Amino acid sequence: MKLLKSALSLALLASLGFAADYVIKFSHVVSPNTPKGKAADYFAKRVEELSHGKIKVKVYPNAQLGKDKVILKKLKFNTVQMAAPTFSKFTGLVPQLGLFDLPFLLKNEQHLHKVLDGEVGEKLKDMVTKKGYVALAYWDNGFKQLTDNKRPLIKPEDCKGLKFRVMSSKVLIEQFKALGAIPVVLPFSEVYSALQQGVVDGQENTISNIYTKKFYEVQRYMTMTNHGYLGYLVVMSKKFWNRLPNDMKKVILQAMKEATEKERVWAKELNNDQLNKIKEYAQKTGKLEIDYLTPQQRLLWEKKLRSIYPKFYDTIGKDLIQAAIKEGEE
C-alpha cells in the first residue's frame, strides 16, 4: 500500500510539472526481461521512491545508447550516468578483474558471493573507481559450463586436441592450452555459426548464453563444470556522483543494495529454468548428452588448471588470488 501511494505521489508530481533534480541515464545491452534488465528497472523504481522524485532514472536496454565500450567513454563525459558491463570490458583498465576468468577459483555460489561482497570485491571496486568510474555493485550472470561436439569431457585429458572458442582473454587462452586444447578467439556473435560449421569443436559459457543463443542445438555434449564465472559490474559516472549531495548518494546505495539482492535471485532462477529446458531438449531429442563431474573428477580438473595461476601473479596479483581462494576455506 505504501509503495502504491508513493508511486501515485510521484505520478502526481510529474503531472503537475515538477521535474526531478537529477536524471540518470542507465544503459545496458540486454533485454528488459533478463535478470540485469529487471534489476535495472527495479533500481530505477526504488531510486525514485526513496528520493521522493528528486532523482529520475531512465533505463535504456538493448544497447539503445550504444555498446558497452562506447558507453564507458560516455560515462567519463557524463553524457550517460550508469551502465552494467561485463567484467571483461574493464580488464584493459583493471587487469586484476581477470581474477574471475581463473578456472576453478570458486567452489560454488556461496564462495563467489563471499569474494564479491568481501575484501577482495571491495579492492577490485576501488581499482575501477580510481580509473574514473564509481563502482557500485556486482550483478550475476552465472557459472560457465563446457560444450563440444567430439566426446564427453569428463577428464581434463578429454579436451586434448579440441578447438575451443574463447573470449579475448589471456587467462582463458592459457586455460585451454593447459588442457592440451587449441584456443580460438572469436566474437560472441560468431560462436553459433562456428560451432555449426565445425570451425571450432566447443566453447565455454553460462547456461543463459548456451540457452538463449541455442548453442546446445549445435553441440553433442555438455559438461557441468562450473569452472569459471561471468558477471557484471554496475558503474556510475564519477562526474555525476560527485554532483550528488550525501543524502542522494545514500539513496543510490540503498536502491543498489536492494536491486543487487533481487538480481542475484533472478539470475539463479533463470539459470535453473533454462537448464531444465536444455535437459528437456536432451531427453526429447537424444541429441545432447549432459554430464556432471563427481567431486573426485572435479579435483582432477582443479589440479590441472590451477597450475596456470602463477602465470598471472604479476597481472592479477598473487595476494588477490590467494585471498579469493582463502574465502572459500573459511
pLDDT (tens digit, 0 to 9) for every residue of the chain, 330 residues total?
554 455 555 555 444 445 789 999 999 998 898 999 999 999 999 999 999 999 999 999 999 999 999 999 999 999 999 999 999 899 889 999 999 999 999 999 999 999 999 999 999 999 999 999 999 999 999 999 999 999 999 999 999 999 999 988 899 999 999 999 999 999 888 999 999 999 999 999 999 999 999 999 999 999 999 999 999 999 999 999 999 999 999 999 999 999 999 999 999 999 999 999 999 999 999 999 999 999 999 999 999 999 999 999 999 999 999 999 998 887
**Cell digits of residue 201:** 569443436
- Please report how the helices 295-305 and 170-178 are oriented relative to each other, as an axis angle in degrees rounded to 10: 120
Residue 188's contacts (CB-CB under 8 Å, 6 or more residues apart) are 167, 209
Structure letter (DSSP) for residue 148: E
How open is the CA angle 148-154-157, to the nearest 5 degrees?
85
Cell (9 digits) for 138:
556486482
Contact 179, 197 (CB under 8 A): no
The set of residues, in sequence order, having a beta carbon less than 8 Å from that of 108 and lying 6+ positions away, is: 226
Question: How many structural domains comprise the chain?
Answer: 1
Rounded distance, CA 17 to CA 320, Å?
A: 51
> What is the predicted pLDDT for the residue at 18?
53
Contact 230, 87 (CB under 8 A): yes
Q: Which candidate, 75, 105, 81, places its Cα nearest to that of 229?
A: 105
DSSP type of residue 19: P
Report the CATH number at residue 298: 3.40.190.170
- What is the C-alpha separation between 325 and 105, in angstroms, rounded? 6
Task: Say how far apart CA 231 and CA 113 lie, in whole Å.
Answer: 11
Instruction: Label residue 293 left, alpha or beta by phi (over 0 means left) and psi (-120 to 50 means alpha).
Output: beta
Report which DSSP code applies to 18. P
Q: Which of 100, 137, 116 is nearest to 26 (CA)?
A: 137
